[in-house]
Structure 1
């Protein structure tokens, strides 16, 4: 892994690498009025990402707070190699299981435009990574700090290329594990949908809409597996029979089941790794998911009519898009 000056690449479960050399040009200079506007910085980054057919990133309050802490320590000459690890553990890792984060300090620049141009040359691969979710930015005396993150479990419902306001996204709760306020059928549904819909967007697949009958059937299947004491693989036939008996009209159906459920992010990773051909298939538009006592069931289906998720990354259960 190539280590950049004052750049760390850290996963929530362990460090991947850390550099601690000081940028020769990062010396304090008089600030201009044309500096330190996070919205302008993310706008330029997003325009350049869009030109490369990449999705836009959003400003994240927690990441900006981390950037400010790093910048202040750097300015005071007290930034140690391990400080970013501490920020990851205390502030960034709780934003999602398996979150990845890195930072970069650069200076001195007379404008945000000059900064973005230099930043894109300095950490091109990180800025134009298709999995990048969000950034946080802080500036002082022409010296800029940026913190980048992937794998976030919460996202705004709409990500603007150029933010129209001065607000930055702040996650609800601590963003990790299964939050009871966002749990349905034993699964943190908001985290599950956000993670999957973000991944489906990368392959131009529509976001999943939760189908109430599929969700109920998934719950019944999970309960059946608990009764049996093991997972069963004869789900599709039984699901077909059960759904059609309820008058549910689905065009195509696929059912997946298993055990050892350890959280929504764990289930997302398992499905993406093992059943990617199905969960990323553009044919499927609706989903039902449930788990009980570690046994989980996921049902995918396509309908004879089109459906649309207005909030691909819901923050609460009220934001979840349902269909019948």
Structure 2
């Protein structure tokens, strides 16, 4: 690993767990060190087109409230240091570190592929969640508009879906979301990790600033779109003290529901986050990891259902109690939001080699 890189959540190219050989850069002094020709060169984002073979992912996990999800992009320029999806880049032979946030794959055939999958005779309607693995509204979406085109397909077929994002860019699509919300076909959730601009910039360097997310929540609420918020992830001794403040802020902005997820450190995320701690909070690094291991049965991570989202032990119980009390204090509705309507779905016509006659 390396040192702080402006605008990035990782500090280097941590090898993926499937790599057979590992290379390591060594400064031989040829370029004059920090004052040399290549000093200060920042890694640029590269976007590559990808032709996907399938677009809807399915799961049967008991602690995930949806069975279908869709991700228009692989990799995410937001660069969140804690992102649980980082290890997925290892399957591509790329680093879960800097490669994950600088080498983005855009599934440019996603809208057409979605239409084809929805047209299959055996398709079973269930709400689709957009942007679960990587943010569907990351910066490149402003140019490519893949997510908007996907929403247009879902709107045309009256298919229910939900969104979760850290980017205020979602307000660009209010013209599509508001009519769908009036038919109970969409809900939007914002991940709000901190209200502190400095901490947010360090944790998630290219996501929207906290005040921009709150403004976006308000805009969606005013347009009649149901909005929820996730305090995710909660990191012991880093942002856990803000739990109540974040819930108060999102409720005031218009969030009608809220949840939280404890920090998850699967596979390469653990060493990446340890490095982040040493870079940004060295005075607390040992204490943070000690608490995390207490929550995870002595390990950096426990993937067991029922534990991976909440942890276990005294700290986990206290956090759950604080969250429950805060919901009541700030007036969040006691009832869960009503399920999205699956009865309006109209399957698109399957593509025909003969084309369309009418």
Same fold per TM (> 0.5)?
no
The two structures have a TM-score, normalised by structure 2, of 0.25
- The structure where strand makes up a greater share of residues is 1
The two structures have a TM-score, normalised by structure 1, of 0.26
